[in-house]
Structure formats: structure tokens, C-alpha cells
Structure 1
Amino acid sequence: MKTNFITFADTASQSAGGSEQDAALLDAYSSTVVTVAQRVSPSVVQIKVQTKPASRPGSGRGRAQPGRDENSGGSGSGFLISTDGYIITNNHVVANATHITVTLAARGDEPSRDYEATLIGRDPATDIAVIKIYADGLKAIRFADSKQVQVGQIAIAIGNPYGFQYSLTAGVVSALGRTLRSESGRLIDDVIQTDASLNPGNSGGPLVNSHGHVIGVNTAVILPAQGLCFAVSSNLTALVAGQLIMQGRVRRGYLGIAGQLINLTERIRLYNQLPAKTGVVVSHVEVDGVAENSQLQPGDIIVRFGQQSVATMDDLHRLLTDATIGQSISLTVLRNNRPVSVTVIPGELPG
């Protein structure tokens, strides 16, 4: 039997080799982040808004609070998606804005530039908004396919935290397929979770991959938690932004009902062969002519929309897309604990 002994010289040699490999890997990572920063920064903008301050209860409608300016302000981030000046940001950054100013990064010897922006459209249901500036020499950023994003890949966030221009944080994609409740009450689907640090002012900035392509729009952070930050996926953002640019809003279907979650007993579920343990019970039917819903009755429990199972109001919101507007849709409801098929024609959700 042959025994090999490792000498101190061999150990030192291996340690030195390992250090060189670690240094090479670190240089590669650093080089990637630096390259992305140089490529993306010219497309990231700082957004400053002026809004009417909220009136205090009992102070009179529209009256400003004592000791405050007539206009209050805020700031956020955004990024250029076209060379003719279209910019994506968060809805909550520009909501109720009376004046929007966009600051472009300084380039070479050129100082930073300020432009007045026009609001093109905003969608509270996804927290996405589009604004536009009129300027020359703009550099746009590309979208990546968020369906190709994988847990563990590099995620780089660029924005303006606390008003400081163009800060960068790097991390990884820590989870996919999250949902986030928007200000409108609807769920935002396919949200990307990352541990790249986000702070106030980062909202609306891009979350990019190692190629400098947008995989998400930074939108929220859970303050008590460490490393729980969220971004609206690039695919959803591109879809919403396209509709905002073309139509100024996002069209969605509307049933004209008030409903709430209800638990189904095991007996009812098994008897009717239902996959979900809950449904949506209709508590009120609006007869406003926007939607054709006369076959629905209070007390009906909606369990299916077309061929799709319905377990919550969020399921209904997700299924009521613009494609359903004006179309005859078959709903399966439980009426007196028995399945009944009714036909509805969704209208357009009032904007």
C-alpha cells in the first residue's frame, strides 16, 4: 500500500492556488456588476413629484394642513423603455401628482438634466405607471423574459434611495411566483422576490439581470424583515405598459357584484366534485347596465368561471381580463347546494 503525504509546502501551494481562484471569481462577479451599472445607469431616472396634501379630518375639503406648503412632494425612480421618452415607474410614485420632474443622469462633462414629464397612464392594480418626457439622446433599456428567471441568479437594483441619485445594490433572486396586494385591493401575480436592498426612493427603478436587461420593477419592501424585497415581473410590466401607452389605461372585465369568500363543507364539495374548499358567495348584484348579470342571485356561490375553478375573489379578478368584456361567459354557481349554470356578459370595469 502506497501512502501519500501532504507537506506544508503542498498545503501552502494549494492555499495560494485557491486564493487566486477566489480572486478570479470575485473579479468576474465585480466585473459583471460594474458592466451592468455602466450599461443601465444612463437609462435610470430620478422622479420628483408635487402632490396636493391630504386634508385633515374636519379641516374642510381640500384645505391644506397648517404649517405645510401648498404642495407636498416625493421622489422615486424610473427607467426609459424607448428613445422617444417613455418611462416606466410605480403607480404609487406618481399617483395624485400635480407636477412631475424627471432628472437624467450626468454624462461625461454634461451635467444632469431636468425635464417636465407628462403622465401617460397608471394602473393601481399592478402598481405600474408610464410617464413621458421630450428630450434628445435618450438611451432605452430592454426587457428580459421573466419566465426565464431562475432562483439564485444575480439581481441588480438601481434607483434613488432617500433622494440620492443612482445607487446600486446587488443580490440574487430569492423566490418566484409570489403575490402582492396592490393599493386597489387586487393581487399582483408573478412577483419576483429578491434580497437586493431596496429603500424609499428605489420604487419604480429596474431590477436587472447580469446582461443589464429588466426582469422586474422594484415596488415594495417588507420593512420589519431583512432581505424581503419585491418586483413586478417584466412580462406583466411590458403588458400593462403597452396598454397604458396605447389606451391610457388597462381594460378589465366587470361583473357588477359584491362577493366574499365562503368555506364549502366537505359534503357539498364531494357531492358536487369541486376541487376547491372555498367559493365566492354573491352578497349583492348591481343592476347598473354595465354588465349583464340578471341571472345571478344573492346567495349564489360562484365555483367556476368558464372552465376555470373559482375559489376566491382574487380568482375572479384574475379571470376578468379585457378579453372577457362583452363576451358571454358561463358561470357555475351553487344554488341551494346544487350546481346551476348561468350566463353573464362582463362589462368594462369603470375607470
Structure 2
Amino acid sequence: MFDLHPSLVLDEAIPSGEAGSSAETAPDDRPLIDAYSEAVVDVVDRVGPAVVRVETPPDREKRHRGGTGSGVVISPDGLVLTNSHVVQGASSVRLALADTRTVKARVLGDDPHTDLALLRVVDDVSLPTARLGNSKELRRGQLVVAIGNPLGFESTVTAGVVSALGRSLRSYSGRLIDDVVQTDAALNPGNSGGPLVSSRGEVIGINTAVIAGAQGICFAVASNTASHVVSEIVRHGRVRRAFIGVAGQTVPLPRRLAVALGLRQAYGVAIANLEAEGPAAKAGLQTGNIVLALDCEPVTGADDLVRLLGGARIGIETTLTVIAGAALKQIVVVPTERTAEAKS
């Protein structure tokens, strides 16, 4: 009987070319890719049935040529969110559902300043719904999914990430829309009015615009702004706003400055633009000032400023707490009612 040399046993146990391969093997990315795919599929399964195609007929009297876009059902009684520029003043709208049914809807309210419109289905039907989420919880890099009808291709799904938050975008009325979400999820004409959805299956934006000639620079109106618009239209039939003449964006407060001023909040709204004859400019607010509070109500994002400047503040003295330079300052503003001509 012969004993095998240990080196021979080792050579037989490890096939040629595989010695040391365990240390050099690349990580297996398949579980991550599968998890990403499952997340997108889950979002589409949950929200896809609530996405509709919005069709408006031509109207010669109103010089409306008709058109198509997307929308999303947000309540069981048939409330549908879409873009203002999709309905363009139409009074009657037809909706094509994901299950191939078509229903009629009427325009409850149209707000060009935020490029949002609210529709109500008039037919007696049961509709799947999607839930509006809290856009303030979004983070850059977060996975998002866009669902809509780009270029007429129904129920199209694209995925990407949140590229930036707190952007300002000029609406079709000429006014700056604050707190806009930027994403690289591919959008095309026809996606307008459709939902931008988080991995939780919550609508965190209403897709509104694409920059022509750009790659992966697309925008959605934040869901918190949409929630405010829906509430106003349901209650008043329109969005009543107090106007102070500013455009701003959400910014983090410099840590040293926040500590020096004894501030607990981490964000404020930096004034990017002032209407020359607006109430804020007349009261002494300046570009670069950071708004922290409005009548002692914290302002931690541009959506807070939009929400707090409701119709009830029109003509009422309102105190803005701002950072001016390196100091806190109180500025008293008297808002006016926003008119159709108001740009900011």
C-alpha cells in the first residue's frame, strides 16, 4: 500500500485554474438587481391601476386644440390629479383607465400657478386609487418610478432616482413653482400629470416638465404642494393664496450659524427672487435672506411657505422670522391676494 503525497491530494481536490479563486471572485450583484426589480414591480402593481390617460376634446370657442396626458386617481369617489397644462381650461375630460374602460370627468379646479388640476369622475364606477405621500421625507438618490402615457404609449414605466430637491420651476402661467422634485426617471410628452412614485408605493410628485435637449433632467410638483392644492379646490373651487412676492428654495441651515443663533430646525427657505413691488420687498425682505418661520409657525421647506400663505392671511399683518446676514430679524408683511398676473 502506498501513501499519497499531500501535494497530490491538494491538486486533485482543487481543479486547475481555481486555486485561490475564492479570494478573487467578484461580488454577486444578482440579489441587489433582483431586489431593485422587485421594488419596481411592486410599485407598478400597486399604483399602475390608478394611473389614467387624460384626453381633452378640441374647443373652437376657447381656442383649445385638445390633447392628451396622464393622471392619477387619488380617492375612491373619483378625484383625479393631473397637470393644468393637460386640461388647458377644458370643462369636460375623458379618462382611459388601465383596464381599458373609459369614463367621463369634469374639471373641479385648475391652478396654473402650480400646473395642477383636479378632476372628478362623473360616471358611477369603482376605481383603484393611489395615496399621496409626504414629499418632505424624500432624499437625493432615493428610488422613484414614473408611470404614464409618454408619446401615446399607455401604461409606460420608467425608473430612476431623486436627483435634487427644492428646485424652482417656472410654470405655464409664468409663476415660479417652489419645492419641485428633480428626477432622472425618463419622461416624455404624455407623461405630464402622471405620478412619480416612491418605493413605498406612495405618490410623491406629479410629473410636469422635461427640459428640451437635456438628458435625465425631469421635474415633478411635490406631493405636499399637490395636497394643499387639492384641499383648496375641494373647499373653495379654486386656490386662494396670500401673495408676498417671493420665490425661494429649501436649503439646509449652516450648522455653525444655527448653533450660534440657538436654532433647532435644520432647514429654511432661502429667498431667490423678489417681486419688485411686492409686499415682501416693500417690507424690507432681501434676496438671500432665509425664512425660518411665519407667525411663529416653522418654515422648514418651500412647501411650508406655500401652505402657510393661505387665503386667510390676505390683508393681515404677518411676521416673518428670517436670517439676515448672521442675525435673526423680524419682518412684518401684509400679504395681498394673488392675482392671475402674479408671477412669484
- Length-normalised TM-score, structure 1: 0.69
Task: For residue 98 of structure 1, report the CA deviation from its aligned partner.
Answer: 4.6
Task: For residue 282 of structure 1, report the CA deviation from its aligned partner.
Answer: 3.7
Contact residue 163 and residue 201 of structure 1 kept, 8 A: yes
Contact residue 53 and residue 95 of structure 2 kept, 8 A: yes
Cα 1:41–1:310 change in 2 (3 A) is same
Contact residue 161 and residue 201 of structure 1 kept, 8 A: yes
Query: What are the superposed Cα offsets for residues 266-308 of structure 1, whole Å, 9 maximum, x if unpaired?
Result: xxxxxxxxx999965449xxxxxxxxxxxx9xxx96253xxxx
Which residue among 25, 29, 54 is the counterpart of 2:36?
Answer: 29
Task: For residue 95 of structure 1, report the CA deviation from its aligned partner.
Answer: 1.3
C-alpha separation between the residues in 2 aligned to 1:151 and 1:86?
30
C-alpha separation between the residues in 1 aligned to 2:30 and 2:23?
14
Structure 1: any 5+ residue segments left out of the alignment?
A: 1-5, 54-61, 65-70, 107-111, 260-274, 284-295, 332-341
Corresponding residue for residue 302 of structure 1 = 282
Which residue among 59, 72, 75 is the counterpart of 1:79?
Answer: 72
The answer on 1:212 being equivalent to 2:197 is no
Cα 1:10–1:40 change in 2 (3 A) is farther
C-alpha separation between the residues in 2 aligned to 1:193 and 1:229?
6
C-alpha separation between the residues in 2 aligned to 1:252 and 1:95?
21
Corresponding residue for residue 56 of structure 2 = 49
Identity of aligned residues (%): 45
The answer on 1:198 being equivalent to 2:216 is no
SS at structure 2 position matched to 1:97: coil
SS at structure 1 position matched to 2:45: helix
Task: For residue 311 of structure 1, report the CA deviation from its aligned partner.
Answer: 3.4
Corresponding residue for residue 8 of structure 2 = none
C-alpha separation between the residues in 2 aligned to 1:17 and 1:277?
48
Contact residue 52 and residue 96 of structure 1 kept, 8 A: no
The answer on 1:131 being equivalent to 2:119 is yes
Task: For residue 139 of structure 1, report the CA deviation from its aligned partner.
Answer: 1.4
Query: What are the superposed Cα offsets for residues 83-134 of structure 1, whole Å, 9 maximum, x if unpaired?
Result: 110000000000122531001111xxxxx11111110001111011100113
Query: What are the superposed Cα offsets for residues 124-171 of structure 1, whole Å, 9 maximum, x if unpaired?
Result: 110111001134321111122111101011010000011111000001
Contact residue 124 and residue 182 of structure 1 kept, 8 A: yes
Matches within 5 A, 1:122-271: 122-133=110-121, 134-253=123-242
The answer on 1:89 being equivalent to 2:79 is no
RMSD: 3.4
C-alpha separation between the residues in 2 aligned to 1:277 and 1:206?
28
Corresponding residue for residue 287 of structure 2 = 311
C-alpha separation between the residues in 1 aligned to 2:62 and 2:237?
30
Contact residue 92 and residue 107 of structure 2 kept, 8 A: no
C-alpha separation between the residues in 1 aligned to 2:158 and 2:126?
26
Contact residue 303 and residue 311 of structure 1 kept, 8 A: no
Cα 1:165–1:11 change in 2 (3 A) is farther
SS at structure 2 position matched to 1:302: helix
C-alpha separation between the residues in 1 aligned to 2:271 and 2:193?
36
The answer on 1:327 being equivalent to 2:294 is no
Task: For residue 45 of structure 1, report the CA deviation from its aligned partner.
Answer: 0.5
Contact residue 75 and residue 201 of structure 1 kept, 8 A: yes
How many positions carry a matched residue from both structures?
277
Counterpart amino acid of residue 127 in structure 2 = L
C-alpha separation between the residues in 2 aligned to 1:86 and 1:102?
12
Counterpart amino acid of residue 113 in structure 1 = R
Task: For residue 253 of structure 1, report the CA deviation from its aligned partner.
Answer: 2.5
Contact residue 89 and residue 110 of structure 2 kept, 8 A: no
Query: What are the superposed Cα offsets for residues 202-228 of structure 1, whole Å, 9 maximum, x if unpaired?
Result: 000000011111111100000111000
Counterpart amino acid of residue 43 in structure 1 = A
Corresponding residue for residue 113 of structure 1 = 101
SS at structure 1 position matched to 2:154: coil
C-alpha separation between the residues in 2 aligned to 1:35 and 1:227?
23
Cα 1:84–1:182 change in 2 (3 A) is same
C-alpha separation between the residues in 2 aligned to 1:349 and 1:11?
72
Contact residue 280 and residue 302 of structure 1 kept, 8 A: no
Counterpart amino acid of residue 302 in structure 1 = K
Cα 1:72–1:199 change in 2 (3 A) is same
